[in-house]
Structure 1
Amino acid sequence: MATPSPFAFLDDFVSKVTRGLQPPAWVVEEVQRRIVLVVNHVLMQESEATSRLAKQAGRVVEARWRVFTMRLAITPAGLFDIASAAVAPDLTLTLTEESPWGLAQAALRGDKPPVRIAGDVQFAAEINWLVENVRWDLEEDLSRVIGDAPAHAIGEAARRATQALRQFVARSPGAPDKPGPVTVATPEPTTSPQAGS
């Protein structure tokens, strides 16, 4: 018999709040711009990532989760920028896990969240390559600000805390015995020509 999650009330609460709460457009735009800055910072540290993305210049990817949507355009420099809502996306990635608690548990287990993919297959392969190969070395960035030793100590503490959380989640009621499939891919081929062709 499956034990219900002790955090089910959080899922209900978040669902009710997000249904009735719509932040002002300027808040949404500022949050999205901050996300783009962080993502571009990470990409600029990986020349292979920016060169691969530069080949996709002009393409638009849309990410969705619940009521939240974000459209990003690829720049000629191989970075991301906010895309206009009027532009049709070449690729749509929809996070199918509705529960914030479920997403947090999957992240702590090291699983990828389930994603429904629709759009250009080649573009999806490039985005997947980024997800698989690009990592943010937060400890390196911290060392530039506070020095090597303190950054290493913070990084070590974060790794220990993450490991403890993963062990807690693995022992929690409702934790799966084995991770199931984490990606639902249903790419649909498009007939539109690739940008720059």
Structure 2
Amino acid sequence: MATQSPFSLLNGLVERAVQAVQPPSWLVHETQQRIVLFLNHVLMQEREAMERLVRQKGRVARVQWRNFNMALVVTPAGLLNLAAEGAQPDLQLEITDSNPLALAQMALRGDKPALRIQGDVQLAADINWLVDNVQWDVEEDMSRIIGDVPAHTLANLGRSIAGAVRQFVGGRMGQGAGASGADRLSQ
């Protein structure tokens, strides 16, 4: 007897919620502003990243997933800002997987989502380099607020939890789709 995964029910609920909920434009704008601030904070920790972006100043990259999109322009300082409304993008990146739960699972595994890329090849290459080489140093930021030892302890705890979640998600993804409930229990 085949059993249905509880994740498929959750996936259906998430799909319906994403389709039904349309946030107000002010909330979208404020969220995008916070994302830009966070991205710039991370970029400022990596000098080479900013140097790469300086070469792309004035270029606009538009990222889209479903009906959500965000256009970013590269500033002369090698940072990012929201592009002006109606700005023509030099690069368009569209996340092709529309399933939010599948995207979350990919992120937990450390995988990149599938993208449709159109536009400037050099800008795409520089953005890909940023994605591959720039990481947020959470522990360093926490240490500025709570000190080195507590930040290190919390970071280790976070890494342990993230590893356990990755292992759980990886185990779930690795199980055969045709396995019955009894087969899953015996594994």
Q: TM-score band, normalised by the shorter chain?
A: 0.7 to 0.9
Q: TM-score, normalising length from structure 2?
A: 0.87
Secondary structure of 2:164's counterpart equals helix
Q: TM-score, normalising length from structure 1?
A: 0.83
The count of corresponding residues between Structure 1 and Structure 2 is 175
Q: Are the counterparts in 2 of residues 18 and 67 from structure 1 also a CA contact under 8 Å?
A: no
Give 1:98 deviation, angstroms. Answer: 1.4
Computing the radius of gyration from Cα coordinates, the structure with the larger value is 2
**What is the rounded CA distance, in whole Å, between the counterparts of 2:98 and 2:168 in structure 1?**
22
Q: Identity of counterpart residues, as a percentage?
A: 54
Q: Between Structure 1 and Structure 2, which shows a larger proportion of helix residues?
A: 2
Q: Select between 102-111 and 152-161 the one with higher mean Cα deviation.
A: 102-111
Describe the shift of the 1:79–1:68 C-alpha distance in structure 2 as closer, same or farther (beyond 3 A).
same
Gaps of 5+ in 1: 178-197
Give 1:102 deviation, angstroms. Answer: 0.9
Secondary structure of 1:124's counterpart equals helix
Q: Are the counterparts in 1 of residues 15 and 100 from structure 2 also a CA contact under 8 Å?
A: no
Q: Are the counterparts in 2 of residues 62 and 72 from structure 1 also a CA contact under 8 Å?
A: yes
- Residues 44-123 of structure 1 mapped to structure 2, 5 A cutoff: 44-123=44-123
Give 1:151 deviation, angstroms. Answer: 0.2
**What is the rounded CA distance, in whole Å, between the counterparts of 1:10 and 1:81 in structure 2?**
35
Q: CA RMSD in A?
A: 1.8
C-alpha deviations, 1:92-150, integer Å up to 9, x for none?
Answer: 11111211211121122221111111111111011111111111100001001100000
- Residues 19-30 of structure 1 mapped to structure 2, 5 A cutoff: 19-30=19-30
**What is the rounded CA distance, in whole Å, between the counterparts of 1:112 and 1:104 in structure 2?**
10
- Runs of 4+ aligned structure 1 residues displaced above 6 Å come to none
**What is the rounded CA distance, in whole Å, between the counterparts of 2:77 and 2:89 in structure 1?**
19
